[in-house]
Amino acid sequence: MAANYVVNVRDILHRPGEQREKDFTVAAPEHFGEGLAVVPAGRDVHVSVRLESVHEGILASGWIDTVADAQSARTLTEFELPLEVEFQELFAYPSEVPSDYTVHGDHLDLEPVVRDAVVLALPFQPEIPGETDQIDQVELADGISLVLADDEREAPSMSGGRRLRPCGMTRTPSRRTPCRRTCREKRDNPWLFPSGRSRAPTPTHGAPSGRPPCRPW
């Protein structure tokens, strides 16, 4: 519990309808967040909170203003990222029903609320405002194009616009039978492959039994 985040609510306890407003600036007791966007420890965090007494406890709602240290997910350029986060949480009175946040005596500890709100607001992939336009304006040498991962345009073909066939397949999709099978069928069933006149299978001598070599037809 950080003492700077503790707010006294003695004057509104168990008085539904009563409310108070408080503004204060405190230093982050530890870094908030991980990855490319972090609010470092010691960074000023401004909190504007309205405390309202309800039957179940104290309802705290307000805004958080701070600045995070971030790196661009595209270029890893460091920059400062202003954050303005809205929050609303209920601090329940102690009871048998478990609650995420509770009233401790006559005060509230806002540190976990502020930390959770800031961490959830930090972007996973920070971007500098206008950074996409700057990347589009980069001049590249002739024959070199820049394709971004999220670009909807199709990447340039390595074959100069021609379609490439898989290795070992025939030119037309309707004749993708390997050569070995076709030759065997022609040898065993010559009447299935007319070529103007009937031909008998070419005799083979000295070939291993069961797998005669494939001869041109």
| pTM of the entire predicted model | 0.58
Give backbone dihedrals phi and psi of 114, rounded to 5 degrees, phi first.
-65, -45
Break the chain into its structural domains and give their ranges. Answer: 3-121
pLDDT at 100: 87
Compute and round to an integer the Cα radius of gyration of the chain: 37
Nearest by Cα to 115 from 45, 167, 162, 174: 45
Walk along the chain (217 residues) in steps of 10 and give the mean pLDDT of each run: 81 93 92 92 94 95 95 90 95 87 91 94 89 58 61 51 51 51 60 53 53 56
What pLDDT, on the 0 to 100 scale, is given for residue 15?
A: 93
Q: What is the pLDDT of residue 11?
A: 92
pLDDT of residue 197: 52
